[in-house]
Structure 1
Amino acid sequence: MSDKQARMLDYLSQTSGWITAGELADRLGVTPRSVRSYVTAVKAAAHPLTVIESGTAGYRINRDEFSAFTAEHRARPRDTEADTPQQRLSQLVRRLTEEVDGLDVYELAAENFVSDSTVEADLARVRLLLPDSGLTLVRHGSVVTLTGSETDRRKLLSRMFREESARGMIDLETIQREFTSGQAGADSLSAFKTDLIDLLDGQGYFVNEYGINNVLLHVAIAIDRVSKNLSPAPAVTEPPSELATSLSGLIMTHFDVCLGSGDLAYLAFLLTTRVITPGHDQPAETLIESYVQPAELAAMRAIVDRASQEYLVDLDDDDFIVRLTLHVRNLINRAHDKSYSRNPLTRSIKTSYPLIYELAVYIASELQRAEQIVINDDEIAYIAMHVGAHLEQQVRRVELVTCAIVCPNYYDMHVLLRERIERVLGDDLEVVAVITRSDVAWDSLDADLVLTTIDPQLHSDGVIVIQPFLTQGDVDRIRQHASRVRRMRRRARLKDDLLQFFDESLFSRNFYARDEVAMITALGERMTAKGIIDQSYVDGAIERELMSSTAFTDNLAVPHAMSMSAKQTSIAIVINDAPMDWGDNRVNVVALIAFSAAGRSTFQAVFDQFVEVFADRLEVQRLIKRSVDFASFIDELVHVMDT
């Protein structure tokens, strides 16, 4: 399957409804005709399974058949899959890392039943993988050899495997099939993981489940290469750590393989920097005494204080700062080693919690400057998880949805019903009235929701008929209505705030730029001409963009600076029929947001609300098509916000 076909399937699998060929073409940067050919090719590859359904509304994924196809694809033996360029590339790299004396180009062509030119093209692709890898492809006549250290060879194998894996967490079964097939204990990688987690828990560590499979990949690669009598990692002279010794015993028990001191030291290093954090169930004071240096804690506290002041959030908590310091210490080690930890939640965090992600970007930018390192999106998302978990603990029961209960009196049934509602839905609802009569003055009930056990005279979205003995179905419907009330209340309050930041002179239709920097520069010049921002804000927005893409959804990019130095909060917006490349996405809407210090109180609401408005794919497509000018854009924006 080609890269474009895989991307098409990936996009379809993330969408619940139908998608037209035109929309898919926009996402992939190809023509609708190419999309139709991709669909045909995928259907042929998956036959007799129907992984893609076609109809007048376009295409959609058949989730059951797609799951079966994916499972079948993963289960195929790797050595029977050398018929695509990506598969040939993987096998070629694997063999190059194993053959110390090199490979003959002509023999490779004959073995794989391809032409010499095809092998030459594959070798050219191998060379593209090698910059900054520490490895070099050397050619002597028809023989090509991969030179470099054993550690760098393993890193290349790990990187290629992760890039081939589907988006999300690395699958243990796939690792096992690729690297430990045929080894003693090969079916026990999952059991090894279980024992490893028990070991780490017993030693008082927090375990990052999102990162542990990445380390297990390195374990499997080490076992595979040592079992084939390939070069071990360089030995170390230091005495083995307690963790390295424990690892050695576990690996021998499960795989009957004895790893050298260098392998064990490296695997322990990976666990220490990617998976484990000390101090499970220990208070901040104990962690400071045992694990945290005063200087690193002070530096982290200074960064958190600046973030708190800049974004008007309360991050002043010793436990949060100490645990973030421990995480950041490992992050810095990974960044220096350029062995970043993959985060399968990066996309969802960025889309669903844009302000929390921005806070993480700010903290990461401060760390980059202080430590002279580069922090990627996955690592930023891990910082966001720390920040989000802390802020979630601060949430108070505010702005509860009010409700009135109508339950005619019968043996105190209304009392039992109220107790049940408050016990199950207390975080969503505040009961403001209980009516125990059957003759109800429905029009006089002053509450967001009315929960009634009798047929109401008043039929509206806010009146919900429930059973006297609350069922799970009742609970689910009440929660849905309460969520809708909160959303509508919030949107009603924010609509005026958001709309006041638009100006007709800062609206553009079908305005294109060469790339992200050119677009930010062009929009920044317009805002500068109106005296809203200065060049330093534009430079700050470009710096922020280069650090992590501001394409928060598949349709929207929101470039901005991390400082609030604008004269007033304002939005310059571009709406294009055809999407442009923006980071790894293709977006139709670009909104350069200038934030002012005076507008700090509305910053979070404006930012989150704006991203939320553009999260619904169908609504955004409607907005793009109907926003022919500024007036129609405002009308459509109001419509989307009121939906």
Structure 2
Amino acid sequence: MPTNQVQQLIALLQKEGPLSVKTASMKLNVSERSIRNYIHQANAASLNIHKDHSKLWVEHTKKIQPIQTDLSLPQNYKERSRYMIKKRIINDETVDLFELSDKLFVSYSTLKNDISKMNQEYQQFQIHFRLKNDQLFLDGSEKQIRKLISHVLADETASHTVNLETLIKNYDPFIVQTITEAIDQMIDHPSVLKNDLARMNLILHLVIISQRSKKRDKINNPSKEDGEKESRFTMLVSRLERTLMIQYSQEDLEQIHTLLAGNINYDRSKFSVSDEIEQFSNALIDLLETRYHVELGSDMNKEMFFRHVYNLLIRAKTNSYIKNPMKESIKAASPTIYEMAILASIEFEHQFHFHISEDEIAFIAIHISNWINQSNELSNKLNVILLCPGYLNIQTTIVQTISSKFADDLIIIKTISSEQELDHLQYDLLISTIPLTKITRYPFIMISPILTNANISALAQKLEEIKRKKESELIRSHFFEYFDEKLFFRNDLRSKDEVLSFLCNSLVKQDVIDMNFEQSVRERETVCSTAFSLFAIPHPLMPLATQTKIPVFINPNGIDWNGTKVQIVLLLAINEVDKRIFMNVYEPLIRLLSENELTATLARSNSFRAFANLLLEKM
């Protein structure tokens, strides 16, 4: 059996005719020595590659099976890097570069270059990829490896997360629109704790129930029970039945009631699950985290999973599993996440003795995918502890009000009743309704048990202060990774075009960017100038750099930037892995350099050290 590389060489010669060894090696991106080895292997298998003094050719009469490209195999650097990371970490398999080269139809040198790029691209995770005896190894802490895997899986499923557009493609658009409007109106109330994941989960399941109800031939009139007198539930059901011209069965009503209880309010006192469900869910999350090196166990994720298992167990007992028309696309989106869902279904069957359908497994995969994506989003929010004695349900009221007003800025990760509970907790801000007896090393703000406008304003100011500090710390911690003495220039170039070409060429020389980068930067400039007063921060439309670097160009006499005279240019070359922190760097730099006096002083810096010291001092 000829190797993949031999088949590639034969296919090349059949397509292009006689070629020199040198030309064949260039086209296949391998060495001339490798080409000679392929010839030897081919002829040993009676495939007859002929060679004279200067050319190679293959007999056209020979029946050679054409190479079929396996689209499931990685086709480019990004896909290969993901493939190697998942194979090595998640599957815990040996990654041998020679075997991988043969399997993926790429050269050994290409894979070595990929590993070099991976060390640049993923440097923020403090993980080093290395080769030993042609096998891939990773050096890094377990915590950092988990972060890397979460990033890879989130990036893989980013375009496959269930959203309204996905639902409209798979279900009746009118049903989707009607339910979305009804849910959004219902949760637009101060007493409701808003959460995008819960909202989407609720809409998804209501769409499925409603479309199924619409297709029923015969429906029995449901009996109204005392439990249905809750205004939100009653109003929602009445509105949907009237608008969609359907009538929900008793089973449907029970499921809707459970969905509302599980997704509208996160107060555990209003929704409880059995110890068995809670213990099973916690154990399963621990198993998934250990087996797949991801982080799923935030309080919110656990809360959501308790509810999902609760609802799933009800459906399993009544054998009323939900059909999932997105099953195949979910399975194709991320086989790894689908494997996680399969493991969850096996554990569920062992615990509760009910077999789960593939449709339900796909729903579990949706939850896991959303959790991973959500954990990346939540990393940009401030973690808050609320210290408030638990009387008259005041904790719930404060949590709902603060979470509603500052949904984009914070997440209340824990509510406690006494100061002693603070021991060993980590957070970004402590909000308390009572005075503290000890000094805390974390930021702290005191509010009234009855929130006032002054409390809200003070909290907003405190959050902004903490965010500014975290932004500064982020830039400080990465400053000498992003800024480099070799990429610091004082020059008398006076035009935007000259400066951009100069800076891009400097990045090309350091293998940070390719030739597409400069074109993307110029396209961005044609949309809107990146000049701000005395400085400019040009950047491409997409993260195109192999590593994040910010070259600095200074001309105290001024550079003509679309009619604005700037003295400092910072070119942002952002690596794709760092794209989530782009705004955390971009906005603070603009805010800092908007102080004209500081910018003018920086423009007089005669060395990188002087520039760096002054900028760090002002952060």
TM over 0.5: no
Larger RCO: 1 or 2 (CA < 8 Å, sep 6+): 2
TM-score bin, normalised by smaller chain? 0.3 to 0.5
When normalised by structure 2's length, the TM-score is: 0.34
